[in-house]
A and B are shown apart, each in its own frame.
Chain A
Amino acid sequence: MTESFARAVGRRVLSRATAQELGLVAHLLIDPGRTHVAALVIGKGKKARIVDWDQLSGFGPDAVMLNDEGALREPADERERQVARGHLELVGKRALSGTGNGLGTIADVTFDPESGRLESLLIGDRDIPPSLLLGIGSYAAVLDITE
C-alpha cells in the first residue's frame, strides 16, 4: 500500500503508550538526500512539534502511531521552522527545471509507509523520481530535468 503526502496530511497522531491523540499531521519533512520521509510536523503555529520517522511505531492508513509522547520535539533549526510554517510544503509547490522551465505544480508525493522511502513526485501526469530534486524553497522546487 502506497501512502501520499496529500492523503497523510490531517491524519490523527496517537501515542502507542497512552492511546492519547497528540494532534494531526500538518506537514512531512524529507531528508537532505531526498530519499526518505525524515520527520512529521504535528500541529500548527507555536504548537507545531516535530517527530522523527524512527520514533514512529507505525504509519497506518487511519492513524500515525508514536512510540510515546516524548518523541515530540521543537523544531531544531531554521529549515524545520520553515517546514512547520508550511513554506516548504511540496504538495502544491511550483516545479521548475534546472534549465528554467516550468514543469507544473507538484500534485502529490508518494512514499512507502513501512520504510518512509519516497517513491515519486506527481507533477502533471508524470511520476518524477524524488532524487531529481535539486533544491526546495519558498518559490519553487527545482528539478534536475533538462527540458
Chain B
Amino acid sequence: MKVLLTAAQLGRLPVVTVQGGEDVAEVRDVIYSPEAGSLLGLTLNKRGFFAGRRREVLPADAIHAIGRDAVMIPDESSLAEPGNAPDAVGQPPSGRNVIGNDVLTEGGVRLGTVRDLALVVGSRGEVVGYQIDKVGGGEAYIPLPAQLAVSGVALVVPNATEDFVRDDLVGLGAAVDEFRTQLGLA
C-alpha cells in the first residue's frame, strides 16, 4: 500500500544531506511531468524565517528519497546550478502552476479545481494523482493517468476518472492501480 503525501506538504520540507545531517535548503516549487507522472525537480528557498530564495535547484534524479519529514539528498553537491539542470527545473515555465486549474473530463464534465498533487512517500517523486476541490464543495482525490492534457488553465482527464474520485489519500492509493489497469496503462 502506497503512503502518499501532497505537494503542499512537500513544499514545507527541509532538504537534508544524508552524509552531513544538515538542512541545506527547503522546498519551494514542485515541478512535475503530467505525461510521465513523475517529479522533474524542485526549486529551493534558503532555510530560516527571514531568508530568501536559493539559486540552486534540485533535479529529481539527484534526490535520494522523499519522506514525510524531509527530502534527502546524498550531499550538498547534489544541488545544481540552474544552468546545469534540465530546463524544466532550471527555468520552470511560468503560468503553468496547476493549482486552481479546472479539471474537465474528455466528455466535458467538470470535476472540480486542482488543489494539490499526490506523491508516493519513499519514492523519488512518483506522482499518482491530484487533490481537487469538488464542484459541489469538499475535497477529493483523482488518480493520474499517464496521458493528460495540461494547459495552465485546465486539466483534461479520461472519462473513467469520474468513477475513481476518492475522499482521501488512502482511498486514492488503492484506486490508482485499479484505475490504471482499467485504462490499460498498468
Contacts and interface: CB of A to CB of B under 8 A. Distances in A.
In the complex, A touching B (Cβ < 8 A): yes
Interface of A: 96-102, 134-142, 146
23 contacts: A96-B21, A96-B67, A96-B69, A96-B70, A98-B65, A100-B13, A100-B16, A100-B65, A100-B67, A100-B68, A100-B70, A100-B71, A100-B72, A100-B122, A101-B67, A102-B68, A102-B69, A134-B19, A137-B21, A138-B21, A139-B16, A140-B23, A142-B19
Interface of B: 13-14, 16-23, 64-72, 121-122
A137 B67 contact: no
Contacts of B122: 99-100, 146
A121 B17 CA distance: 20
A139 B23 contact: yes
Contacts of B68: 100-102
Nearest to B47: A139
Contact of A140 (B16, B64, B66, B121): B16
Contacts of B23: 139-140
Nearest to B67: A100
A142 B21 CA distance: 6
Most B CB within 10 A of own CB, among A100, A134, A135, A142: A100
